Each structure stands twice: as C-alpha cells, then as structure tokens.
C-alpha cells in the first residue's frame, strides 16, 4: 500500500470523526451552543431554515476540502524538498502541488458561488 493511499485513509477517518463530532446533538446541548449562537445573532431552534442549514453544511464541507488541499500542498512541498535532485520525485511533487493548487482554486470558486446563491435565496 502506498504512502499516499494511507494518507488519504487517515484524512477520510479524520473527516468522518469530525463530522460525527460536529453534528452530534448531545455535544451541542452539553455546551449550550444553541444559546451561545442565539446571542451571537445566528438562527437557532425554530428559527433555523432549510437554506441556512444547507449553507452551513456546504460551508463546513468546503472548508474541510480546503484543509485537505492545504495538506496536499504541504505534502508536495516536503516531498519536493526531500527529493534530493531525483527528477522523478521532483516531477511527482510538482504534479501533486499543481493538483492541490487547482483544487484550492476550485474550492474557493465553489465557496464564493454557494455564498452568492444562498445570499440571493435568503434575500440579504
């Protein structure tokens, strides 16, 4: 099994654990996050609309994907620095870095588009 597939399996497991933590009701009830969010001006309880919940889920997902691409950029940089002049390793690192940059651009554009769409839907 390659190091890259092990890396992605670890990221996948971390993402699943993070999602379970973020969306578990007992955690939010335990720390009174609903009350805190209400004081901060965010909609809570019966005031939460489907659009705001969808926007929140999409923003969380896009943020996690952005973090993944940042990790890929760091991985490519480390791989490039440790290539020691080996052209094959340098090429692989460049390709990984290029893919990470393209991914970051796509995530940034999709984040902006989703925010524009949800602002139009909510009328703000």
Helix (H, G, I), strand (E, B) or coil at 32: coil
pLDDT (0 to 100) of residue 114: 85
* Chain segment 36-66, per-residue pLDDT in tens: 677 776 666 655 677 777 778 888 888 888 8
Q: Is 41 in the same domain as 76?
A: no
pLDDT (0 to 100) of residue 55: 78
Q: Is 91 in the same domain as 35?
A: no
Nearest Cα neighbor of 108 from 66, 48, 45 is 66
Q: Where would I find the H helices in the chain? A: 3-22, 25-30, 33-40, 50-81, 87-122
Q: How many C-alpha atoms does 11 have within 13 Å on its Cβ side?
A: 16
Q: Is 26 in the same domain as 57?
A: no
Question: Contact, 109 vs 54, CB < 8 A?
Answer: no
Helix (H, G, I), strand (E, B) or coil at 41: coil
pLDDT (0 to 100) of residue 98: 92
Q: Is 123 in the same domain as 78?
A: yes
Q: Is 23 in the same domain as 73?
A: no
| Residue with the larger pLDDT of the pair 4 and 122 | 122
At 91, the pLDDT band (50, 70, 90 cuts) reads very high
Q: Is 28 in the same domain as 55?
A: no
Residue 123 structural domain: 49-124
């Amino acid at each position: 099994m390659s190091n890259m597939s092990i890396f992605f399996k670890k990221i996948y497991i971390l993402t699943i654990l993070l999602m379970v933590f973020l969306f578990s009701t007992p955690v939010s009830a335990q720390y009174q996050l609903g009350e805190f969010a209400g004081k901060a001006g965010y909609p809570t309880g019966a005031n939460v609309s489907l659009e705001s919940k969808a926007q929140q889920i999409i923003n969380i997902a896009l943020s996690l994907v952005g973090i993944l691409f940042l990790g890929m950029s760091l991985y490519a940089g480390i791989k490039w620095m440790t290539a020691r002049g080996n052209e094959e390793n340098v090429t692989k690192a460049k390709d990984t870095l290029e893919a990470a940059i393209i991914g970051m651009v796509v995530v940034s554009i999709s984040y902006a588009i989703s925010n524009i769409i949800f602002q139009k839907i909510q009328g703000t």
